[in-house]
Structure 1
Amino acid sequence: MQQRAKPGKPSRVFDRGDEWNALTAFVDRPLPHAMLGILSGRRRMGKTYLLRALVEQYGGFYFGATAGTEAESLRQFSAALAEYASSPVAFSFATWDDAISYLFGLASPRKGDTPGGADPKAPLLVVIDEFPYLAKVAPELPSLIQRETDRFQVEGSRMRLLLCGSAMSVMGGLLASTAPLRGRAQIELVVRPFGYRAAADFWDVGGDPALAARLHAVVGGTPAYRRQFLADDVPGSLADFDDWLCRTVLSPFSPLFREARYLLAEEADIRDTALYHSVLAAVAQGNTTRGGIAGYIGRKSVDISHPLNVLEDSHLLAREEDVFRAGKSQYRITEPLINFYEAVMRPSWARLESGQAQEVWAQSAERFAAQVAGPHFETVCREYVLGPGRSLLSTSLGTVGGGVVTDPKERRQIQIDVAVVEPGSGGSAQSVALLGEVKWGTVMGVGHLERLRRARELLAVRGMDTGHCGLACFSAAGFSEALRVEARQGGVLLVGLDELYGRAVPEGVLT
């Protein structure tokens, strides 16, 4: 196959430039044999929107599966395939074996067998969306696709098959261990939520970092929540945020009101939703270790291994290693709306259902700051260091995370919210490039800086290289004048909301 010019991303597809480039590179790769791709992502991320745009550009075949019996699903697939192939009569495949064989046959390089008079040398893009629905009723499908993919590694083929799904555990399992498709995929792409800066632009609130930060702490970077769910109902200003929240997320008449519950119920491997909600509630309440979660829900640590694993596989929970203490880790809810639901909505569910949104929200300020906005702000600050803030560091390597530094003299633990740690190599010790503290509602002062300096001293005593370790203070509430003086003298970086959202340059210098 000849290399062809890649189609440009349609203007209606917001962001997603990296995903679009990866997908077009997959389709246009000039190889004369079948290729397979796996695309996944939680619901509401815009996967279908992206794939439909891709299919339109390439004139390919798109099939969106629905929940149904095997016979009905096969009949729907047959009808869609017949329409794509411009068949004068409907197809009636007896088995999925026949259907998949015919599908791959459409990608034969022989001239004259392409639907609609398409270029017989052009790649044939085929997208099967919500593939887990089909795999559930026809578990032989992955094996059938494996057989045809392997066959057309020898015989010529223009097939570019993309399997897409929202059930993260199912999609992840397609390429795992002894699964039939393991080793067959040329691309494995996860469509993730928009980053915090892209989300601010998508919601048209990028000009108000304080509003953008609060909005992102509630709805995150899920594109469907603005357009499909809220019909472009966007808070007009920071002063409008409370009213907006009460008329949308906290209103029993809004589609977002029960969305957090639906996100959990839609995961294929989740049966006892009450147990999973309890696990998520434990994390939202600040019980972020395995032992803390088990104690909160009244179970033994060993008894919660399965729900923790399922929530991780579903990308609803993330386990983050302590960068300073091997074997120690904490859990974090990855979906902001679920965290908001567990921390603010679920404890007052009956009152919210009865229309008391204003009263509930008025009494939730402290809980929102401590359990929602504060932890989420820490995540945003780490994302900043991973992305635009990386240029401020002297290194482009290292793990970005958090951890605890124990101070035996003072008998206390110093929580480091943002840290960049580089692994040692060739006999050299681990090095620390950055130590940072994050505060949502607190004006940071010299005391916070001194705590970071003490942590740096303790890490040096432990044998870690801190010779080029910079210190950073992140605050959504601002900094004291004394701390600003320290920043002007060098040795500490001050990062507020304006800096996080690219509206200002961080104050201070890392030394």
Structure 2
Amino acid sequence: MSPPDATALPDRPDQMFDRADEWADLVGFACEPSPGATLALVSGQHRQGKTFLLEAVSRATDGFYFDGQAAAEAESLRRLAERLAEYTGAARPEHWHRWDEAADALFALGDERPALVILDDFPELVGHSPALPSVLHCAYLRMRQERPDNRTRLVLSGASPAVIRRLFAGPSSLHAVASLEVEVRPFSFRKAARFWGIRAPRLAVQVHAVVGGTPAYRGDLVCDDVPAGPDDFDAWVCRTVLNPRVPLFWEARHLLEQEGDYADRALCHSALVAIAGGRSTPGGIADRLGASLHDVSHVLAVMHKHGLLHGEPDAFRPGLTRYRIAEPLLAFEHAIAWPHRAALEQEEAPAVWRRIRPVFDAMVAAPHFAQLCRDWATRYAAWETFGGEVSTAVRGTVPEPEGNTRLDAEVVVRGTADGRPGVLLSVGLARWNEVMDAPHLERLRRTLALLTASGEDTSQAVPACYGGVGFGPELRAAEAKGEVLLIGADRLYHGE
């Protein structure tokens, strides 16, 4: 086993889509020639290609890869010893009785050269060996002190970032000594469209509203079944996510089980149905379910901790947290499949889909389009678009001074302008399935007037309309006068 050339790091495999930054970080870590053992933590939700990436890095750098499984400690140690014997060419595997023996053997790989050692699905090993993080922490510190020239590059991988950090908190504190943290995230909506080979922006939004940016959903769960074009989307939904013969049909129902043992899964599902149905605040969800605010808040906190929900403050009421479902497939399940399960089990999918298609547009595609607009504002919009550097884009509500009505804004952009952080740069409306025109601009002007009256500095706030099907002539005329920003689906995917 010859050491890799530190001056020419291995190239990313041709069959790997994107992940260029993650690849560069990991091969650079693996090939770092400096003395001293080092540690990296790699996290990522299920089916993001984390294992595929780590296996490829291991092959490219002649590293040692071990996939953890939910097994008794003795069985895991036996499997690890067999794999290590195969890797080193030893005549027979060692017979370890404790993890500290295995840790010493793994660290010994780096005595002569930079040696990559990957323990994938690490939480599975910890499940049956709770002391393992402490064992590795002690072995790591001992190696740094007693064998400072050792160059083991240890990678511990698995689960969401929140789970990884909880595993390594406290006395073991492997998190504190890690020199690299890599999170393998879903593809952005632009990369997801390229990954699926979809060029039509509106179709890309629809597909992303179902499967998001999780790469395994295309290959492993629908066997590369991609919509042939915009007119094929409805048929694609029926033959994939609504088809019990296709693995994608069952995937969302396993996501809660994969992310942890919740005390009340029924309440979790009910809360997700409420959020998918448009309730976003703890009070609104509790009211919808007829449950106590305490119980609902607890369930929301648990799902947020496990990465199933995102919680964000309202743009104009910071004390109000709004929740949204993090995984699009989970949102689709609880807006479409879960409430209509009986019909889907008793009728043909195309007939059911024709009836509930408006629900998809209103409760799935529309809020998802609004989220993509917020993502576009923070990730892709040029400085000139909003006249400042964007820091956040969230939803916001402004109460009318009289009555119980409110004005909602789906895309409220704040950022830095003229050296001032937190400046209100834009207030925008997002409409997925309606042509936007003068009334939408008037609504934005009313919102800005109310904000000004409440003391908000709106001097640099630009009205913006985000439209999924286009804009009317009056709105186009206002754009020509510089009175409003118009952002369509094509600009989301191709413009700044």
Secondary structure of residue in 1 paired with 2:176: coil
Q: Does 1:383 align with 2:375?
A: yes
Separation of aligned partners in 2, 1:480 and 1:108: 69
Q: CA deviation at 1:268?
A: 2.6
Amino acid at match of 1:46: G
CA distance in 2, matches of 1:59, 1:279: 47
- The offset of 1:424, in angstroms, is 10
Conserved 8 A contact 1:74-1:93: yes
Question: Is residue 2:422 matched to residue 1:419?
Answer: no
Q: Which of residues 4, 10, 19 is equivalent to 1:16?
A: 19
Q: Which amino acid aligns with 2:49?
A: G
Distance 2:33 2:277 in 1: 52
Aligned CA RMSD, in angstroms, stands at: 2.1
Q: CA deviation at 1:429?
A: 8.7
CA distance in 2, matches of 1:197, 1:291: 34
- Spell out, residue by residue over 1:275-309, the C-alpha distance to the aligned partner (whole angstroms, 9 max, x if none): 22112111111111111222233321112333222
Change (3 A) 1:444 1:3: same
The C-alpha deviation readout for 1:106-141, integer Å capped at 9, x for no partner, is 2114xxxxxxxxxx3xx2111111111100000111
Counterpart of 1:188 in structure 2 is 181
8 A contact 1:377–1:438 mirrored in 2: yes
Paired residues for 1:102-181 under 5 Å: 102-109=105-112, 120=113, 123-154=114-145, 155-166=148-159, 169-176=162-169, 178-181=171-174
Equivalent residue, structure 2, for 1:67: 70
Provide Cα deviations, 1:234-290, integer angstroms capped at 9, x if missing partner: 110111111111111101111011110111111233354222211211111111111
Give 3-state SS (helix, strand or coil) of 1:183's partner. helix
Distance 1:93 1:179, change over 3 A: closer
Question: 5+ residue gaps in structure 2?
Answer: none
**What's the offset of the Cα at 1:3?**
5.1
Residues 40, 126 of structure 1: alpha-carbon distance in 2 compared, 3 angstrom cutoff: same
Pairwise CA distance, 1:463: 3.0
Counterpart contact for 2:100–2:139, Cα < 8 Å: no
Bigger mean CA deviation after superposition, 179-188 or 133-142? 179-188
Equivalent position SS for 1:363: helix
Query: Could you list the per-position Cα deviations for residues 349-373 of structure 1 after superposition, in whole angstroms to 9, with x for gaps in the alignment?
Result: 1332345211211111221112100
Within-5 A mapping of 1:57-456: 57-109=60-112, 120=113, 123-154=114-145, 155-166=148-159, 169-176=162-169, 178-205=171-198, 207-354=199-346, 356-391=348-383, 392-408=385-401, 412-422=405-415, 430-456=422-448
| TM, length-normalised to structure 2 | 0.94
Please say if residues 431 and 464 of structure 1, whose CA atoms lie closer than 8 Å, have aligned partners that are also in contact.
Answer: no
The 8 Å contact of residues 430 and 465 in structure 1, kept in 2 or not, is answered as no
Matched, 1:53 2:56: yes
Per-residue deviation, 1:187? 1.8
Tell me the secondary structure at the aligned position of residue 474 of structure 1.
strand
CA distance 1:212–1:343, shift in 2 (3 Å): same
1:18 match: secondary structure: helix
What amino acid does structure 1 have at the position aligned with 2:411?
V
The 8 Å contact of residues 34 and 149 in structure 1, kept in 2 or not, is answered as: yes
Q: Give me the whole-angstrom Cα distance separating, in 2, the residues matched to 1:457 and 1:376.
A: 28
**CA-CA distance at 1:383 after TM superposition:** 0.9
1:221 CA drift (Å) = 0.7
The residue identity in structure 2 corresponding to 1:172 is: R
Comparing 177-186 and 188-197, the one that deviates more: 177-186
3-state SS, counterpart of residue 10 of structure 1: coil
Counterpart secondary structure, 2:447: helix
CA distance in 2, matches of 1:8, 1:403: 45
Indicate conservation of the 8 Å contact 2:117/2:152, yes or no.
Answer: yes
d(CA) in 1 for partners of 2:278 and 2:170? 34
Helix, strand or coil for the counterpart of 1:126?
A: strand
- In structure 1, the residue corresponding to 2:180 is in which secondary structure? strand
Q: Which moved more, 1:235-244 or 1:178-187?
A: 178-187
Aligned residue in 2 for 1:509: none
Tell me which amino acid in the other structure corresponds to 1:306.
Answer: H
Q: 2:415 and 2:282 mapped to 1: Cα distance?
A: 26
Counterpart for residue 474 of structure 1: 466
Measured against aligned partners, the alpha-carbon deviations of 1:12-69 in whole angstroms (never above 9, x if no partner) come to 1101122222223333445311111111111111001111111111110001112222
Tell me by how many angstroms 1:450 deviates: 1.6
Q: Does the CA contact (< 8 Å) of 1:44 and 1:223 recur in 2?
A: yes
1:457 corresponds to: 449
> 1:486 corresponds to which residue?
478
Q: For the structure 1 residues 167 and 160, does the alpha-carbon distance in structure 2 shift closer, same or farther, using more than 3 Å as the test? A: same
Please list every run of 5 or more consecutive structure 1 residues that lacks an aligned counterpart in the other structure. 110-119, 507-511
**How many Å apart are 1:165 and its aligned residue?**
0.9
Q: Structure 2: how far apart are the matches of 1:24 and 1:429?
A: 37
How far did residue 397 of structure 1 move?
Answer: 4.2
Contact 1:251 1:355 (8 Å CA) reproduced: no
SS of corresponding position for 1:495: strand
Q: Distance in 1 between matches of 2:289 and 2:150?
A: 54
TM-score by length of 1: 0.91
Which stretch shows the higher mean deviation, 299-308 or 242-251?
299-308
**AA aligned opposite 2:69:** T
Task: After TM superposition, give the deviation of residue 411 of structure 1 in Å.
Answer: 5.8
Q: Secondary structure at the match of 1:266?
A: helix
CA contact (8 A) 1:445 1:480 kept: yes
